Amino acid sequence: MKIKQRSGSLLFLMLTFFFIAAITQTNDHDKNSNKLVEAASDTVLKTPTTGEKLYSEACAACHGVSGKGVAQSQLGFATPVPDFSDCDFASREPDGDWIAVAHQGGPVRGFGKDMPAFGMALSEQELQQIMDHIRTLCRDDNWPRGELNLPRPLVTEKAYPEDEAVISTSVDMENEGSVMNELVYEQRFGARNQVEIVMPFGFRESPTGSWNGGQLGDMALGIKRAVYHNIDNGSIFSVTGEVIFPTGDRATGFGKGTTIFEPFVSFGQLLPANSFLHVQSGVELPVLRDKATEEAFWRAALGTSLTHGSWGRTWSPMVEVLGSREFESGAVNHWDIAPQVQVTLNKRQHIMMNVGVRIPADDASRDTQFMVYILWDWFDGGPFEGW
Ligand code: HEC
């Protein structure tokens, strides 16, 4: 009986002990989180929340006050931190992409999870303030901003100087068959310049029905310079000089048989509601005028970008209008229209695809063409990164 009573009171004592321990724990926890909330609201109430202040509180621990990134030895992880003060890198990334990374964390754009998500702690407006501050860390506005890098149409050339590789294919859908491919390699140099190399190759059906396979077309080399760009009014204007060399066989329809100079201007404009306009115009001036005719061309593409959810894939439907006219008496204007849609394929959004058709809009005998390209913005990572 006594033993029973004793063990009963022991049990009671133990329960009381655990109960008190549990209560004090909760109190400690509450105290801690209260302190955190107080500290946070102190920051919000007592200090004006400038982008710089928010950046130094939320980002500088890893990215450094100067934006160059804190030394690896102090970070405790191996993922290298990007350098926000490097204009060549920072200027080309649009705010929207970086806000997505800061809001959702690195993995939303195929980066490492060492870049944490701030969506719970900071509003999109605060992240925009931080971005505005990050923009001041690159001190040279000679570099065109990434917002001006509009989605690439199938035919019209962009004004923005790019680091990209594009493989495009156009397939004639009516008369004789033709599958022409074009490999375009573009590389920036300096803040505003770009060199591009174009290598066409393909297959063509002869009127007798046999196919000429795997032949090289006329290769081209071009230099582009963005002569004007302004993020405030959303415009960019470039001048390009291109030389097309007679590397293709004229007899089988793979080349023009003469060197052609092709100077052109291109213009890009951001429009309200994530819409955009490209305009390109130029002339083709063959050296041997009996082989190819002099011709003027003008092209425009109007499109808009739609994002899947808040941070997902970007779809950019566009319509291109393509005009040309030979410099000959009695020549007529040729018109094509090309509806198409570009879509980003991976999370990093540096691999894209565009699919469309190019339809003759005058009564010429040109074929309707199916067109497609795959684009790799190689500055942003390898082709298999960021999926
Ligand atoms: C805990 C450390 C840490 C903090 C804090 C941090 N970052 Fe990062 N951030 C990283 C790392 C590491 C990377 C590189 C990730 C990679 O390349 O996989 C990165 C990458 C980024 C990128 C991607 C840049 C690119 O390559 O396109 C952006 C944008 C970014 N951080 C913004 C921010 C902002 C804004 C803040 C503050 C709100 C912030 N980061 C706070 C560690 C951090």
Distance 98 CA to ligand 1 centre (A): 9
> The tokens of 169 are what?
């294919």
241 lines ligand 1 (CB under 6 A): no
For CATH 1.10.760, the residue range(s) in the chain are 51-134
| Cα–Cα distance measured from residue 146 to residue 140, given in angstroms and rounded to the nearest whole number | 14
Q: What is the pLDDT of residue 76?
A: 86
Cβ-based burial of 140 (10 A; exposed 0-12, middle 13-18, buried ≥19): exposed
Mutation test residue for ligand 1: of 54, 56, 62, the one with most atoms within 8 Å of CB:
62
| Secondary structure of 202-263 in HEC code, one letter for each residue | EEEECCCCCEEEEEECCCEEEEEEEEEEECCCCEEEEEEEEEECCCCCCCCCCCCCCCEEEE
How many residues does this entry show for the chain?
A: 387
Q: CB of 241 within 8 A of CB of 233? A: no
145, 371, 383, 268 alpha-carbon torsion, rounded to 10°: 0
60 lines ligand 1 (CB under 6 A): no
**With a cut of 50, which residues of the chain have pLDDT below it?**
1-5, 7-8, 10-46
Q: What is the pLDDT of residue 47?
A: 54
Q: What is the pLDDT of residue 48?
A: 60
Q: What is the pLDDT of residue 4?
A: 46
Calculate the average pLDDT of the chain. Answer: 88
Q: CB of 274 within 8 A of CB of 305? A: yes
User: Which residue shows structure tokens 């970086």?
Assistant: 98
> The tokens of 25 are what?
């724990």
Q: CB of 248 within 8 A of CB of 268? A: no
Q: What is the pLDDT of residue 207?
A: 77
Determine whether domain 146-380 maps to CATH 2.40.160.40. yes
Atom of ligand 1 nearest to the CA of 55: 37
Question: Domain 51-134, what fold?
Answer: Cytochrome Bc1 Complex; Chain D, domain 2 (1.10.760)
The DSSP result for 19-61, as a single string, is HHHHHHHHHHHHHHHHHHHHHHHHHHHHS---HHHHHHHHTHH
Mutation test residue for ligand 1: of 115, 126, 132, the one with most atoms within 8 Å of CB:
115
Closest to 149 measured CA to CA, from 159, 157, 163: 159
For CATH 2.40.160.40, the residue range(s) in the chain are 146-380
Q: Give the CB-side neighbour count of residue 163, counting CA atoms within 13 A.
A: 15
101 lines ligand 1 (CB under 6 A): yes
- Residue 113: count other Cβ atoms within 10 Å of its Cβ: 11
Closest to 184 measured CA to CA, from 165, 205, 203: 165
Query: Reduced to 3 states, what is the DSSP secondary structure of residue 301?
Result: strand
Give pTM, 2 decimals: 0.85
Measured in degrees and rounded to the nearest 5, phi and psi for residue 51 equal: -55, -40
